[in-house]
Homo-oligomer: A and B are copies of this chain.
Amino acid sequence: MAELEYAYGSEPYAVRLVGSSPTVRTMKKQPNLRIILLGGLGEVGRNMMLLEWQGKILICDMGFRMPEEDMPGIDYIVPNISYLKDKKKNILGVVFTHGHYDHIGAVPYLMEKIWHPGLEIYASPLTRGIILKRQGDFPNQPKLDIAEVRDGSKVKLGPFRVEFFRQNHNIPDNLGLFIETPIGNILHTSDFKFDPAPVNDLPTNFQKLKSFGRRKILLLMSDSTGAEENNHSLSEKTIEKNLEEIFKYSSGRIIAATFASLINRIQQIITLSEKYGRKVCVEGYSMKTNVEISKILGYLKIKKGTLVKAKELANYPDGKVTVLCTGAQGEGSAILMKIASREHPFIRLRKGDSVILSSSVIPGNERTVQMLKDDILRHGVKVFHYKMMDIHAGGHAQQDELREMIKIMRPKFFLPIHGQYSMLAAHTELAREMGLSERNALIAENGQIINLNPKKISIEKQKVPSNYVMVDGLGIGDVGDVVLRDRQMLAKDGMFVIVTVIDKTTGKVKGSPDIISRGFVYLRESKELLRETRKKVIEIVNRTTGSGGAVNWSYVKDEIRNKIGQFFYTKTQRRPMILPVVIEV
């Protein structure tokens, strides 16, 4: 493993920066820059960062993440911004690095809560286009005024001066941030990789990066997503070469599925289709939208006549057709699944077709991708996926590139961002191997307040709220732990409502209790169980209400819940949620 020792600048940093002698230094308390990550640490997605200097706040990115498996019904998880409550006017602006949803997806849910007339918003043209298009999908959202920035743009936001610079990723127009602050310079890499042969983009400008390095980096915040992967990320050139092999030897239709946001992969498929004389049919709402925006803004190069509609496909021989669609993750609602399950109005799989799954599998989706692959293979179709050959590259720097970034920036302090805890830990390990001390290379967690001054990086004991804010339909944050726990319980063993009508005068049950149950047992085949249950309920009620005097209804309900719960567990070893209703008439 290559190790590198380096000195941060040529003289002690703090001394040079504050211009004070060592004696003075020890007497003055250094003012701190506060850095708070509301998401993206210990998780993949939900990236949002605050830089705060004497009350003035700069925001970087507002992303969402997908829910965990034990969060049924939840659409997304967005950052918790309660720390910003009552601080609206102190928010100077928001800068966006790139157009992926884990960096911009929370905008329609959160922006109106922090927006004020003085708020400045900056994004690259493509990022801006994607944010505005999505904002349009939310009818009640305000129109946003977003200023365009490009490689080399510089903007001043209160005490912060932000310089944007081009970084390779797998979506065009991705910008890293060089931020001058009153206590020193911060470099935020954005998601990045060093690709010697990127698609629709120039290779990394190492001269530019080195020039930042020479301007003294107090803190490097670097993308950790690939920190557990050895060596160097695959170049898009390799991917293109492998994809071309498939195009070269396929005589039937090619159905290529990838992420809608993977603009560069979409470009590759289109370019290869044009080269091999294939028409391209783009299917899936999100992919169509992204292709449209990218085309208009010039980030996708498509020849006139290449794109055709699905219903026109029948006019072309199989060998002249490419279908470009969503669904490489086995998403139930995506186009590829509809095609595989014969639900698509125009496209059916047939022998001779080749399906390309050009994406990695997001952890948690392995089973659904396997099922999808199996379903496609059952049609006698060839399937190409990333485990068979390199037809997908991630967008993230791997260990060699991460080392290179540290080497170029020679930061005094290091903070790994973006990724699961294991990725942050691996990235910190790299930084330490390269000479950063344990004290200077921290692992922080969401909501922690990181205090930074020229001499020290430290974490406050106090945290700001960073727990999950869940989006479910129109509700943002209204589904909390209670509702979620109930959903999990309902899913596991179902529920059982017992409605008992009680005669006010006698205290006895009138008629037979009504039972409504779902997800517990198949009622039609459980008549004996229901009969016994009704009998037990009547016994319980009559016993508890029968002694005369005022009836404690909550005691009656508790008795039903407990006794019937025990009865069910003995009979079935299941614990449905038991909900007694008692009506006095």
Contact = CB atoms under 8 A, between A and B. Distances in A.
A38 interface: no
Contact of A73 (B421, B493, B514, B518): B493
Given A474-B572, A483-B520, A516-B581, A490 B497 contact: no
B583 A483 contact: no
Contact of A521 (B475, B490, B574): B475
A525 B478 contact: yes
Q: Which of A487, A577, A581 has the most CB of B within 10 A?
A: A487
A417 interface: no
A313 interface: no
A579 interface: yes
Interface string A464-499: 000000001111001110111011111111110101
A225 B287 CA distance: 35
Interface string A386-402: 01000000000000000
Interface in A420-461: 420-422, 425
Contacts of A383: 422
Nearest to A365: B366
Contacts of A378: 421
Given A68-B367, A522-B478, A494 B487 contact: yes
B425 A377 contact: yes
A28 interface: no
Contacts of A579: 497, 516, 518
A422 B491 contact: no
Contact of A494 (B425, B486, B497, B522): B486
Given A387-B228, A421-B378, A486-B518, A492 B583 contact: no
Interface in A218-232: 228
A228 B370 CA distance: 12
Nearest to A74: B492
A473 B519 contact: no
Which bucket holds chain A's interface residue count?
35 or more
A363 interface: yes
Interface in A499-516: 499, 501, 514, 516
A514 B574 contact: no
A411 B264 CA distance: 48
A571 interface: yes
Nearest to A69: B367
A72 B486 CA distance: 13
A421 B366 CA distance: 15
A398 to B, nearest CB: 13
Contacts of A572: 472-475
Nearest to A374: B421
A363 B478 CA distance: 32
Contacts of A521: 475, 478-479, 483
A512 to B, nearest CB: 12
Contacts of A514: 581, 583
A519 B72 CA distance: 10
Contacts of A484: 519
B490 A491 contact: yes
Given A73-B492, A364-B366, A474-B571, A482 B377 contact: no
Contacts of A491: 72-73, 487-488, 490-491
A497 to B, nearest CB: 5
15 contacts: A42-B374, A73-B492, A472-B493, A473-B574, A474-B571, A478-B522, A479-B521, A483-B521, A486-B518, A486-B519, A487-B491, A487-B519, A490-B518, A495-B518, A516-B579
Given A378-B421, A488-B491, 18 more contacts: A73-B492, A73-B519, A363-B370, A472-B493, A473-B573, A475-B572, A478-B521, A483-B518, A483-B520, A483-B521, A486-B519, A487-B490, A487-B491, A490-B491, A490-B519, A501-B583, A516-B579, A518-B579
The 9 A-B residue pairs with the shortest CB-CB distance, nearest first, are A473-B573, A491-B491, A72-B491, A374-B421, A490-B490, A363-B366, A487-B519, A486-B519, A486-B518
